[in-house]
Structure 1
Amino acid sequence: MDSTIDVRGLQCPTPINVVSNAISKAEIGSVLTILTDDFICFMMLQRVLRILNVEIKETVQLDENNYRIVVAKSHEIS
């Protein structure tokens, strides 16, 4: 199942919590697209995703203020 997690307009740590919860509830094999408009949050999300051992497939700066991270969930997250 593919889904989009839009945390634009939110400031850390809220997006970290939203993304972590969404990933923990996602089925194995899911691809999730995360959208943020905060550079610091963009960087922090990547760090948390690495800690969670989630495969980061893509990180893109879409324009001056928008960023996208695409991840794949390949195992259960505890």
Structure 2
Amino acid sequence: MCRYGIPKNIVADNGKQFTSELVIQFCEKYGIQNTFVSVEHLQANGQAESANKVILMGLKRRLDKEKKEWVNALPQ
């Protein structure tokens, strides 16, 4: 939030970290719309799945370069 500001919408699964009363109150206070997708059907959240794929590919490339020294590739 510090970098990009307050989001207009949060798309998440029904995990407790997203459905807690505290999070709901926070979202209401700042005008954030919550959209929940089924845990069994995460493909419904195509935007997040696409972003996850890009992140995973980047991690794989980085870790392939590091080979057995993958711990050194992790941020400090």
Answer yes or no: same fold by TM over 0.5. Answer: no
Greater gyration radius: 2
More helix by share: 2
More strand by share: 1
TM-score normalised by structure 2 residue count: 0.28
TM-score normalised by structure 1 residue count: 0.28
